[in-house]
Amino acid sequence: MKKQKQFPRSAGVLMPVFSLPSPYGIGTLGRAAYEFIDFLREAGHAYWQVLPLGPTSYGDSPYQSFSAFAGNPYFIDLDFLREEGLLEEEELAAVEWGEDENDIDYAGLYEKRFPILKLAFSRSKHAGTAAYEAFCGGNADWLENYARYMALKMHFGGKSWLEWPQALRRREPDALAEALEPLAEDIAFWKFCQFKFFEQWERLRAYAKEQGILLIGDIPIYAAMDSADAWAEPEVFYLDEDCRPIDVAGCPPDAFAATGQLWGNPLYRWDYQEKTGFAWWKRRMAATARLYDVVRIDHFRGLVGYYAIPAADKTAEHGEWRKGPGLAFFEAVQSALGDTKWILEDLGYLTPDVHRLRKKVGAPGMKVLQFAFDSREESDYLPHNYNANCVVYTGTHDNDTMIGWTHTAPKADVRFARRYLHIRRSAGESWDFVRAAYMSVASLAIAPLQDFLCLGSEARVNTPSTLGRNWRWRVSPGLCTAELAARMKELASLYGRAAREADSRTKKD
């Protein structure tokens, strides 16, 4: 297969869409998103990395989505709908969206956001327009199934499709037609939400391109069990005759979790995928390529070998490793991505075959500074061990912030990090870690916004294998200042990562 070219030397910021400031309880594709793009441009940073954009299910994780193709209705900006005449300012002001600007109340959003969106839907004249017909036609391979699935899910009180009547679980034509007939308006509503989401996202992406900002998206390797994907195309997944999972996905015990991580996602029938030429994955990759300039493939090692856990187990301790599709997968889906570049999330339990496949693909792997400073042994994540074809992060969405790490990591590791980086002070310490990433040979360096803002563990996005307080952090309005942008640009320029410098070197090459 054709190897991917290395990234130009550059820098970016990891910032979930849901973490943007907003008066409506969660970050959206509204003005704050445009302002963040302006901020990145002023900061000389060429990349904005976001987390998956799909509609979230139980646990609110963007890695457990009701659809591998759909967008999150929570991200639809209500002010833009108001400007279209679909909502009134008084109607938005009458809703209590939450008092904490740094938190997301998902239960409250579930109760309050959809009635407002349905009000906008009731006033919309989108049906029958050329734009809407083109959208439906261009997404026919998933849109109808998703809208039907959501309409039925709401009809059954939000229950997983595994709890629906057997005839609907199995999509028996007569039972399905009878159940869907009275839900026609609901189906139209869910299509409307997707139309508006993608309309707003495409407008935002076009603006980012104008400003010289490239978008990095994240594609979860697995689909959720409670999803339109598993319901509509069960043959793709490792399910029994009753459409229930046989084995599920996860990770074995490691430093993150003593009993492993039990994700619960259905596994793929890779024999079926290969027999069909990876058709489902090609569709998914093509849809993803329309959203982003770069795609981070989550859990890359699962394409080499994946961990299978019996569906009835309560922990991930007793799973087994099985062979994945390997190079055949990448050879099949490469054409669907077009010019979109890849980043391979090659973290976790790595074996020689994982490294060999990454080299054959040519896409960069990941280095995480927080994993570098194990005082007991030498680490591949220490900057002096890097090669240029990698992406270095101070931390990811699964890590604490750098300030938080200095307070929660083993003291010996923190002391080692301070010696290695020659840190003599604690104030603004996260900038010393960012500096280490930027001065490394890695072609692309990315830090979460929290590390530029010197925030502690209160700003952590996710703690793996826990529920209740994840995916909720939002940045306060006004913190992405011109002064911060200037400081970030100075650091990027010092180490040859500023956007205009990277652009000039690319043109010369």
298 classed as catalytic: yes
Structure tokens at 133: 């017909």
* CB contact set of 18 (below 8 Å; sequence gap of 6+): 26, 27, 51, 62, 74, 75, 104, 471, 474
> In angstroms, rounded to a whole number, what is the distance separating the alpha carbons of residues 300 and 306?
9
Residue 334's SS3 state is helix
7 neighbors 362 (Cβ within 8 angstroms): no
Q: Does residue 345 have an active-site annotation?
A: yes
Q: What is the DSSP letter of 62?
A: T
Count CB atoms within 10 A of the CB of residue 102.
14
Find the length of the chain.
Answer: 509
Q: What are phi and psi of 12, to 5 degrees?
A: -155, 175
Q: What is the SS3 string spanning 366-398? A: EEEHHHCCCCCCCCCCCHHHCCCCEEEECCCCC
Q: How far apart are alpha carbons 70 and 68 in whole angstroms?
A: 6
Cβ count within 10 A of residue 259:
14
Alpha helices in 211-326 (DSSP H): 228-232, 270-275, 279-289
Q: How far apart are CA 247 and CA 378, in angstroms?
A: 36
Catalytic residue among 345, 346, 400, 429: 345
Helices (H) and strands (E) in the chain, counts: 20, 12
Question: Looking at 398, 413, 501, 503, which residue is catalytic?
Answer: 398
Read off the tokens for 472: 């909720």
Number of neighbours of residue 509 by Cβ within 10 angstroms: 8
CB atoms under 10 Å from CB of 179, counted, come to 18
- Annotate 64-75 with three-state secondary structure: CECCCCCCCHHH
Catalytic hit among 298, 400, 432, 451? 298
CA nearest neighbour of 336 among 219, 235, 177: 219
The whole-angstrom separation of Cα 42 and Cα 349 is 38
Q: Which residue has the tokens 């108001």?
A: 82
Q: How many Cβ atoms from other residues are within 10 Å of residue 369's Cβ?
A: 27
Cα angle: 326, vertex 328, 329; to 5 degrees: 75
Biggest distance spanned by C-alpha atoms of the chain = 72
Rg of the chain taking only CA atoms, in angstroms: 23
Q: What angle is formed at CA 52 by the lines to CA 112 and CA 337, rounded to 5 degrees?
A: 140
Active-site annotation, residues: 298, 345, 398
